Structure 1
């Protein structure tokens, strides 16, 4: 098994965000994983399959991880008071939800896999909650988002005009390395690693690049 470094940006990552729920790792982090899936998928799926691993598999009911994942997929933020009712809200919207547990060994205890499914598109996403509400995306549609941990920081980008947008992204980052490229929902998905600090200012700058439709740090 390879050894990965799970990254924190600051003390605030350990303190955690403003949230609804008993645990930053099991609730706020889970909401953020669902949020990232929603950003990529662009809409509410007809079916959601959630598979929990490690400690998530043992505590996902009691710690609110299940409702938190669903809340994130619905687009709720970590402080949304609707989180406890997310499953009921999703079902009212016609979403079929299935929760599974796996005994498969993973590199981090708080690992979850999401499948968002409808007649046109399917998204498979694996991520971990590394503490304090921070998350790390590890796979999209079975493509690893991690290439070189020594690079420092990662981004997932979606673009509808990649030929013009990506050179501008390269100029905005220090030593960028593009990991994988694939098509999803008629957009191109890029996995990028860089030594640049992924600050909110940098994320906002990249979002302003014409042709970029979403910018998501893979950690934080």
Structure 2
């Protein structure tokens, strides 16, 4: 995993979003990590294995990180009042959940690994909560999403037409760098980094490219 100096765009990134507490790092950020996994997996898994590292491993029960991760997997937003009941709701939907902790060293104290499983349909995602409800996705299926330590902004994209979609994305961004990842549930996942800020307007423009099925900032 490559070390990176994480950037905040405004004071609101530090204060955090509207949320169910107690902590923007341990709950709001965890919800967003779960949301990211769900967006890529595109469904609720039959089995969820969550491994916490560092500070998360020590406090995930008391700070609500466990329920927050599951809430994100279910598609709940950070302010959803159902978050405290997320584990119960998931189990009622037939999801088997296992929480693990690891003493293995991590580059950031708030690191979590998620494994979403439904038969052969699998997703392995590692991410960190960098504070104020912001997150950084660091690995997907054991591939690093950080391509260049000097680049500032990143996206995870999925496509069912990689040969035509990827060049179009490259033409839309400033000085992009790409890496192609293996198939994920019949789609191709790829990462892109660029020097320029990736605005919501730019994200919407990329979403309109034929063949692009998901556009997800690696930080946010």
Structure 1 length-normalised TM:
0.97
CA–CA distance in structure 1, aligned partners of residues 193 and 187 of structure 2: 20
Deviation at 1:9, TM superposition (A): 2.2
Q: Secondary structure at the match of 1:193?
A: strand
Correspondences of 1:173-188 after superposition (within 5 Å): 173-188=173-188
Asked if residue 72 in structure 1 is aligned to residue 72 in structure 2, the reply is yes
Partner of 2:28: 28
Deviation at 1:198, TM superposition (A): 1.4
Deviation at 1:6, TM superposition (A): 2.0
Question: Does the aligned pair in 2 maintain the 1:145–1:180 contact within 8 Å?
Answer: no
Partner of 1:127: 127
Partner of 1:189: 189
Q: Secondary structure at the match of 1:13?
A: helix
Correspondences of 1:100-179 after superposition (within 5 Å): 100-179=100-179
Asked if residue 59 in structure 1 is aligned to residue 59 in structure 2, the reply is yes
Question: Does the aligned pair in 1 maintain the 2:2–2:149 contact within 8 Å?
Answer: no
Correspondences of 1:33-48 after superposition (within 5 Å): 33-48=33-48
CA–CA distance in structure 2, aligned partners of residues 121 and 2 of structure 1: 28
Q: How many correspondences in the alignment? A: 220
Deviation at 1:2, TM superposition (A): 5.5
Question: Does the aligned pair in 2 maintain the 1:143–1:180 contact within 8 Å?
Answer: no
Pick which of 160-169 and 1-10 moved more: 1-10
Deviation at 1:174, TM superposition (A): 0.3
Question: Does the aligned pair in 2 maintain the 1:55–1:109 contact within 8 Å?
Answer: yes
Deviations 1:124-165 (A, max 9, x none): 100000001000000001001012121111100001112221
Q: Secondary structure at the match of 1:112?
A: strand
Question: Does the aligned pair in 2 maintain the 1:179–1:193 contact within 8 Å?
Answer: no
Deviation at 1:100, TM superposition (A): 0.4
Could you tell me which runs of 5 or more consecutive residues in structure 1 were left unpaired when the two chains were aligned. none
